[in-house]
Amino acid sequence: MPARTVYLETFGCQMNELDSELVAGRLASLGYRLTSASDEADIVLYNTCSVREHAEQKVWSRLGDLKAKKMERPGLVVGVLGCMAERDGQALMKRMPVVDVMCGPGELDKLPELLDNAVRTRLSLLADEQTAMSAGARSAGVAALQGNASRRSSTLSVANDSLEMLDLSRSVSPIDSQAKASAYVRITRGCNKFCTYCVVPFTRGAEVHRPPAHIVDECKRLVDAGVREITLLGQTVNHYRFEHDAALVIDGIVQPQKGRSYKGGANGHRRDPFAGERVTTFADLLYQIHEQVPDLPRLRFVTSYPRDFGDDVLEVIRDCPRICRYIHAPAQSGSDRQLALMNRGYTVAEYDEFIQRCREHLDQPEIGRPLMLSGDMIVGFSGESDEDFALSVDLLRRSRYKNCFIFKYSPRPGTTAFDRLPDDVPEEVKRRRNNELLAVQAEVSDAVSREQVGRTFDVMIEGISRRERKRRGVDVKPGGGMIELTVGGRSSAAAVLAEAAADASGLNGQGESVQLSGRTDGDQIVFIELAPHESSRAEGLIGHIARVSIDRAERLSLFGRLEA
Ligand code: SAH
Ligand code: SF4
Ligand code: F3S
């Protein structure tokens, strides 16, 4: 096969980011060349998100732009991967013939085959006199979609889960010490919650848990390659549960397992009676990783479901120093009526109790480890009245998240809410409520940040701050306040360091100050000002944890100095 050039763009959540990384690794190992310039690609892939209409619109507009390009270059192969592919199915290809390949998130292991197939189909379209003229406007029509197949079988083990092979075959290449050494590891796929507004259970399929040994091994391999921070991924991580008695082994590989949660009494605090030996619970898994991967400085996880989150998990976090005190536990609303319509399965009082329990176990500012919480809220869900909304404002003030993602309700075809609950809050009202919640959260974030002034934290230094790079005229990635020292970004960070080092040894030996950025274990962003005499240390600090005392705060960032 001639080397083909692939452009892969990712939308949506961390799951998609991880999927894209795995897909890119797989394609690279097969001889494809990945490029960050869409213009030079033979294959353009979008890994898509369906969670809100807005997320899909971005992709529609990208596809629209590709139409003209494909007329010019009829050999171009276009693929839609991920949740949008799964949700829209073949209809998407009919509406957008520019798309040649569709591949749902549950079928990504088949992507290389699909691409091969699509490339061949395009070549034959071009070779055939009948179709050559219109090849640019035709789709190769290649698709692999799950069609919720994962929900059909009721057996506990997922027979021959080939998707597991994609995670297992993750290519881990040694990480440059200057890279932001952080990685995702999947523990659970899919979701069984069926919140009425949410499309994820339909696009990602049934909840499936990966065998703990696979997860621990993957963490070890990543750490051996230089990774310093791992974030475990699942839609509801605390539902992680693996029953060893029921494990199925195929071709020597333990298969992932469908979710069968232990109903642990009211609000699920009671310990799973089989925890430890016969069953690996989420608490067990965290503990195992912490103990078996001792060289991993930071372990995180997202997203926590604010129910069935036992004290056992909180105790493990409290007792394991390298597990971060950061919990992302979306409330979605502060009104019981709305929570019931959303089918969230908890009341506001239960949510408050959960947050309270988290604080009791984990909030220790006196040792530089305050608990940081974050959340998600939806405004303008079906029937949300002014009173319901006022309750959400109250919840936001009480919960004191360090940050909160706020979304306007967006009805998604296929969900229960789409079929049964009217989207009856006018757009104008949604917008107003959205802005109001943003303003409330801004106040809360400000206050939470200011509380950190005077405290000292362990900060994982991620790199030269964006501000610093801008100041020095080095290219800065748009978006995100932090620099991502990925393959492309590394050289520019190195350039800044080289320049800083040159400055440091320059006239009068005075040097210049350098600003680094990093994060606390509570996931707060910290900017560290290195004094001119410290700037030569910058390079050695990146990728490591340093003690930093905080002397100033802004809404979403802290500023400090290295502790003497
Ligand atoms: N599994 C996670 C959330 C995954 S989706 C959890 O349950 O916490 C990420 C966020 O998108 C959700 O928390 C919710 O706030 C938002 N969201 C999901 N569907 C939405 C919709 N139809 N309209 C607006 N926001 C939505
Ligand atoms: Fe969606 Fe609810 Fe599952 Fe989260 S828990 S992914 S909001 S269905
Ligand atoms: Fe979007 Fe799918 Fe993630 S819908 S939020 S990419 S699971």
Predicted confidence at residue 266, as pLDDT, reads 36
410: Cβ below 6 Å to ligand 2? Answer: no
Q: Given this structure, which CATH class describes domain 157-324?
A: alpha beta
Strand partners, 102: 80, 143
Nearest to 200 by CA among 81, 12, 51: 51
Q: How far apart are CA 398 and CA 306, in angstroms?
A: 15
Distance 14 CA to ligand 2 centre (A): 14
Hey, which bits of 18-85 come out as E strands? 33-35, 43-48, 77-82
Q: How far apart are CA 482 and CA 462, in angstroms?
A: 8
Find the ligand nearest to 13 CA: 3
Nearest to 205 by CA among 219, 187, 189, 229: 189
Q: How far apart are CA 193 and CA 156, in angstroms?
A: 17
Question: Where, residue-wise, is CATH 3.30.750.200 in the chain?
Answer: 327-451
Predicted confidence at residue 487, as pLDDT, reads 28
Q: Spell out the SS3 assignment of 445-506.
A: HHHHHHCCCCCEEEEEEEEECHHHHHHCCCCCCCCCCCCCCCHHHHHHHHHHHHHHHHHHCC
3-state secondary structure of 200: helix
Nearest CA to ligand 2 atom 4: 235
In order along the chain (564 residues), what is the average pLDDT of each group of 10 residues? 86 96 94 93 97 96 93 94 93 92 94 95 90 89 80 58 82 61 94 96 95 97 93 96 90 88 51 78 97 97 95 96 98 98 98 98 94 98 98 98 98 97 98 98 97 96 81 52 31 53 45 87 95 88 93 94 90
Predicted confidence at residue 149, as pLDDT, reads 61
Tokens (6 digits) for 1:
């096969």
Topology classification of domain 327-451: Transcription Regulator spoIIAA (3.30.750)
Distance 409 CA to ligand 2 centre (A): 14
303: Cβ below 6 Å to ligand 1? Answer: yes
Nearest to 517 by CA among 490, 548, 494: 548
409: Cβ below 6 Å to ligand 1? Answer: yes
Predicted confidence at residue 148, as pLDDT, reads 61
Q: Who's near 378: CB < 8 A, 6+ residues apart? A: 197, 332, 333, 342, 406, 407, 408, 409
Antiparallel, parallel or unpaired: β 208-209 and 188-189? antiparallel
Distance 342 CA to ligand 1 centre (A): 11
Q: How far apart are CA 207 and CA 28, in angstroms?
A: 29
Question: Where, residue-wise, is CATH 3.40.50.12160 in the chain?
Answer: 5-147
Predicted confidence at residue 444, as pLDDT, reads 98
Q: Quick one: which atom of ligand 3 is closest to the CA of 14? A: 3
Nearest to 556 by CA among 513, 519, 515, 514: 519
The maximal CA–CA distance of the chain, rounded, in angstroms, is 76
Q: What is the DSSP letter of 156?
A: S
Distance 51 CA to ligand 1 centre (A): 7
Q: How far apart are CA 236 and CA 250, in angstroms?
A: 27
Q: How far apart are CA 465 and CA 552, in angstroms?
A: 16
Q: How far apart are CA 500 and CA 497, in angstroms?
A: 5
Nearest to 211 by CA among 279, 313, 129: 279
Nearest CA to ligand 2 atom 1: 198
- Residue 274 amino acid letter: F
Say yes or no: domain 5-147 is CATH 3.40.50.12160. Answer: yes
Backbone dihedral angles phi then psi of residue 125, each to the nearest 5 degrees: -60, -45
Tokens (6 digits) for 201:
């259970």
Q: How far apart are CA 383 and CA 563, in angstroms?
A: 52
Ligand 2 pocket: which of 14, 83, 188, 194 to mutate (most atoms <8 Å of CB)? Answer: 194
Q: Is the Cβ–Cβ distance between 350 and 313 less than 8 Å?
A: no
Q: Is the dihedral of CA 327, 284, 175, 228 positive or negative?
A: positive
- Could you report how far apart the first and last alpha carbons of the chain are, in Å? 58
Q: Is the Cβ–Cβ distance between 65 and 99 less than 8 Å?
A: no
Q: How far apart are CA 163 and CA 189, in angstroms?
A: 10
Predicted confidence at residue 543, as pLDDT, reads 86
